[in-house]
């Protein structure tokens, strides 16, 4: 004859901590996507007008002249 034993296990989950970890991962992913988009725009600007044209356009945008 064999005896069976059952045990109950409870897990306490901190919802605030789990949500915070998810939010940090989501913000990190979005910032990486924004960085990739900015790099693509910089490469596109360099391809269309070159280094001097891009620098001239940047200075014009800053000064308004």
DSSP string, 20-51: HHHHHHHHHHHHHHHHHHHHHHHHHHHHHHHH
Confidence of residue 47 (pLDDT cuts 50, 70, 90): very high
For the question of whether the overall pTM of this predicted structure is more than 0.85, the answer is no
Above 90 in pLDDT, residue 43?
yes
Q: pLDDT, tens digit, for every residue of 6-40? A: 888 887 878 888 889 999 999 999 999 999 999 99
Token digits of residue 1: 């004859």
H or E segment and range at residue 4 = none
Predicted confidence (pLDDT) at residue 56 exceeds the cutoff of 70: yes
Q: What is the pLDDT of residue 50?
A: 93
Q: Distances from the Cα of 39 to the Cαs of 6, 34, 44, 45, in angstroms?
A: 58, 9, 9, 10
SS3 state of residue 26: helix
């Amino acid at each position: 004859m064999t005896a069976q034993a059952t045990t109950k296990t409870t897990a306490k989950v901190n919802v605030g901590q789990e949500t915070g970890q998810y939010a940090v991962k989501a913000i990190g992913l979005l910032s990486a996507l924004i960085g990739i988009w900015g790099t693509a725009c910089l490469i596109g600007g360099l391809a269309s007008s070159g280094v001097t044209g891009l620098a001239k356009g940047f200075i014009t945008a800053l000064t308004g002249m």
